[in-house]
Amino acid sequence: MDKKQAQKRAEELRRITEYHAKKYYDEDSPEISDFEYDMLMNELKNIEKQFPELVDSNSLTQKVGGSVKEGFEKVVHEIPLQSLQDVFDFEDVRSFDERIRKTLGEDEKKLKYVVETKIDGLSASLEYKDGTFVRGATRGDGSIGEDVTENLKTIKTIPKVLKEPVTITVRGEVFISKKDFEKLNEQREILEEPIFANARNAAAGSLRQLDSNITKARPLDIFIFNIQKVEGKNIESHYEGLLYLEKLGFNVVPKKMLANNIEEAIEYIKKIGDERENLPYGTDGAVVKVDNIGFREKLGTTYKTPKWAIAYKYPPETKETKVKDIICQVGRTGVITPMAILEPVKLAGSTISKTTLHNEDFIKEKDLRIGDTVLIQKAGDVIPEVLKVVEEKRTGNEIKFEMPKICPVCGAMAVREEGESATRCIGIECNAKLLRSIVHFVSKDGMNIDGMGYNIIEALMNKGLIKNIADIYSLTFEEISSLKKNGRKFAQNLIDAIEQSKNNNLDKLINALGIRHIGIKTAKILAKQYKSMEKLMNASYIDLSIIPEIGTITAKSIVDFFEQEQTKDLISKLESANVNMNYKMDNKADERFSGKTFVLTGSLEKYSREKASEIIENFGGKTSNSVSKNTSYVLAGEEAGSKLKKAQELGIEIIDEQTFENMIN
């Protein structure tokens, strides 16, 4: 590569790494794996090493990624929170040792290293004055971080008062354990919230919340791994410093080993690599640090990284194995996922016997068949993935896989809609997705059973007190009160809420059933149109699809849902429990917006968009996302955009917030 090519590639790499660093550090939503990002950075470093004149001070090779999120107070780190130089093979580790020995001269005889697990989380500093926790901050760009003191106080493993009245600043890594991460994502999926890409970003996103109550609800933990500054105590050894931190009451990084030389350090790196599959927390590497604090001062730092430490990143490992079978699993939301059953193979420290194949498109893209030999990879702690089929090893006896047309758990229809990659079970009583179905059924937008949250439902199911949705209406006072110590008041409140839900209007029940593509708005339209559950259940595809707000996809979804025996069984049980099945017209209803369609654009001062839409619908009107000749009014707030312009072009009446208030008052 000549200089001109190198310059072009370096500029391209800087753009790519800046983009992915922003997604990773600032937005907590990475689009590529850590390993892929590391490889891009490594390529850029090598170019800058070969052509030093191409080094750019704005390059991520010269600075720490990350910035301060708007809404947080800035904290200037007295001791910068630097990042580490990454290495990817043991020769680089030995080269690191050689450079250090050369700098230390005679002192190299006293050189020792500490090897620790590299925790996959978000770095933070904690400040204590006379033993009391006074402030905590994220790393940010290394020099300036975000004040997240209140959020850090919600982490149980952070001591509020130390066992000695020392003034000290420490550095640690906030993380979420593997088990807690799986549970968190499972719960978010059931509650129809976006799932986190990985545990690191879940931890970062949780710590950087402006509302500490959100942070408190997340299962955050921390490992402390460094003393940044301490008053009145002379600590000469990093390893002794870690032991002192434990004595003070900190949750110190558990895997820490003192090595007498670099070969011993390499053996410890290998040992952590062999054990990392079984560690309860995520780690993608091991950190090697010079133990002697005085030596560290002599070795110095660059702007971005210390010269006395490196991070060894475990390379992804690949192995060949055979696909013995492909089975399907049903997730909590009803998504049917194909799973490859593999001939067991040792990979990255664990035995792999199965792996997800994601969806039908993934299998077709790889042209994957039962009996194929495949290459699988496991980078860091992620789930093993099929990289490719080894086509030259095909025998001709391989079998093509077809996604099931019925759910393998409950026998209901398995549907893949146009434009989607997922195949879903639509059975409302399917055991695989029962928890999610019940959570949605009792939610505020569903039957609105106050007090029946996720944890209560899970407890009721674990005790066998709920086996289907209809069982909610046969729960007894004694059964509910048994869930909590002194739970009599809670039980009575929940019994009252369950009883009250029986009188909900029909639209609440329709939405509670969780029919695909049916939300609050569509449920109201269906309730008004058909007046009873019986008539809706018997509605034809043609009749439904000609309703302007429904359309062909939603119509098919409704018909498919009500054709299922599970649906008919549930509706029958709910009717027997005296749940209202009819639309109740409010004779006193104010229909002042009947026949009117509103489009909302821009931001309103007094109302959220959802609240304004609710008011319009309560007055018999409709809301739409797009402006057309059928639009009656465009309600425009601050910074209204293209919708306002289109309304002006079409001559649609435009109203402001004050006019809207006059109309509703």
Q: Which of 249-258, 418-427, 547-556 has the highest mean pLDDT?
A: 249-258
What is the Cα–Cα distance from 200 to 157, expressed in whole angstroms? 18
Among the listed residues 112, 118, 313, 524, the single catalytic one is 118
Range of the domain at 648: 597-664
Q: Are residues 216 and 234 in the same domain?
A: yes
**Using one digit for the tens of pLDDT, what is the confidence trace for 104-139?**
988 888 999 999 999 988 999 999 999 999 999 999
> What confidence tier does 538 reach under pLDDT thresholds 50, 70, 90?
very high
> How many other β-carbons are positioned within 10 Å of the β-carbon of residue 232?
8
Over range 348-367, report the average pLDDT: 88
Taking CB atoms within 8 Å and a gap of at least 24, the contacts of 623-628 are 623/521, 623/597, 623/598, 623/599, 624/597, 624/598, 624/599, 625/599, 626/599, 627/599, 627/652
What are the φ and ψ backbone dihedral angles of 276, each rounded to 5 degrees? -65, -25
Beta bridge partners of 323: 342
Q: Which of 128-142, 248-262, 346-360 has the lowest mean pLDDT?
A: 346-360
Q: Are residues 293 and 377 in the same domain?
A: no
Over range 449-478, report the average pLDDT: 94
Q: Are residues 481 and 384 in the same domain?
A: no
Q: Are residues 549 and 453 in the same domain?
A: yes
> How many other β-carbons are positioned within 10 Å of the β-carbon of residue 410?
21
In a domain, 410, yes or no: no
What is the Cα–Cα distance from 367 to 401, expressed in whole angstroms? 10
In a domain, 136, yes or no: yes
In a domain, 221, yes or no: yes
The yes-or-no verdict on residue 69 having pLDDT over 60 is no
In a domain, 585, yes or no: no
Residue 450: both structure tokens together: 């106050």
What is the Cα–Cα distance from 332 to 514, expressed in whole angstroms? 13
Q: Which of 14-23, 71-80, 229-238 has the highest mean pLDDT?
A: 229-238
Over range 425-452, report the average pLDDT: 93
The model's pTM is: 0.66
Q: Are residues 258 and 347 in the same domain?
A: no
> What confidence tier does 16 reach under pLDDT thresholds 50, 70, 90?
confident
What CATH number does residue 632 fall under? 3.40.50.10190
**Helix or strand holding residue 189 (H, E):** helix 178-190
Q: Report H helices in 105-172.
A: 149-152
The yes-or-no verdict on residue 84 having pLDDT over 80 is yes
**Helix or strand holding residue 511 (H, E):** helix 506-512
Q: Are residues 111 and 256 in the same domain?
A: yes
Identify the residue with better confidence: 141 or 37: 141
* Domain end (from 313, 347, 377): 313
> What confidence tier does 27 reach under pLDDT thresholds 50, 70, 90?
low
What CATH number does residue 14 fall under? 1.10.287.610
Q: Are residues 460 and 555 in the same domain?
A: yes
Q: Are residues 304 and 324 in the same domain?
A: no
In a domain, 408, yes or no: no
Closest by Cα among 358, 370, 365 to 422: 358
Q: What percent of the chain has pLDDT over 70?
A: 95
> How many other β-carbons are positioned within 10 Å of the β-carbon of residue 421?
12
Cβ 583 vs Cβ 526: under 8 Å: no
Task: Characterize the bridge pairing of strands 597-601 and 622-624.
Answer: parallel
Number of domains composing the chain: 5
pLDDT at 226: 96
Over range 629-648, report the average pLDDT: 89
- Catalytic status, residue 528: no
What CATH number does residue 100 fall under? 3.30.470.30
Show the CA angle centred on residue 497, arms to residues 526 and 468, nearest 5°.
Answer: 70
In a domain, 480, yes or no: yes
Q: Are residues 260 and 165 in the same domain?
A: yes
> What confidence tier does 71 reach under pLDDT thresholds 50, 70, 90?
low
What CATH number does residue 461 fall under? 1.10.150.20
* Domain end (from 576, 609, 637): 576
pLDDT at 28: 59
**Using one digit for the tens of pLDDT, what is the confidence trace for 587-623?**
566 788 988 999 999 888 888 888 888 889 888 888 8
**Using one digit for the tens of pLDDT, what is the confidence trace for 379-415?**
545 568 899 999 999 999 999 999 999 999 999 999 9
Over range 453-467, report the average pLDDT: 93
In a domain, 251, yes or no: yes
pLDDT at 68: 52
Q: Are residues 345 and 304 in the same domain?
A: no
Q: Are residues 308 and 352 in the same domain?
A: no
Q: Are residues 330 and 302 in the same domain?
A: no
3-state secondary structure of 141: coil
What is the Cα–Cα distance from 169 to 137, expressed in whole angstroms? 11
Residue 398: both structure tokens together: 């391989």
| CA atoms lying within 13 Å on the CB side of residue 169 | 15
pLDDT at 63: 56
Closest by Cα among 315, 430, 436 to 377: 315
Rounded to the nearest 10°, the torsion over CA 489, 494, 500, 502 is -150
Burial 15-38 (b: 16+ CB within 10 A, else e): ebbeebbebbbeebebeebbbebb
Over range 146-151, report the average pLDDT: 92
**Using one digit for the tens of pLDDT, what is the confidence trace for 543-558?**
999 998 898 999 999 9
Cβ 453 vs Cβ 483: under 8 Å: no
The yes-or-no verdict on residue 7 having pLDDT over 80 is yes
DSSP 56: -
> How many other β-carbons are positioned within 10 Å of the β-carbon of residue 252?
22
Closest by Cα among 130, 188, 126 to 151: 126
Beta bridge partners of 146: 74
In a domain, 568, yes or no: yes
Mean residue pLDDT of the chain comes to 89
Q: Which of 39-48, 57-66, 622-631 has the lowest mean pLDDT?
A: 57-66
The yes-or-no verdict on residue 25 having pLDDT over 70 is no
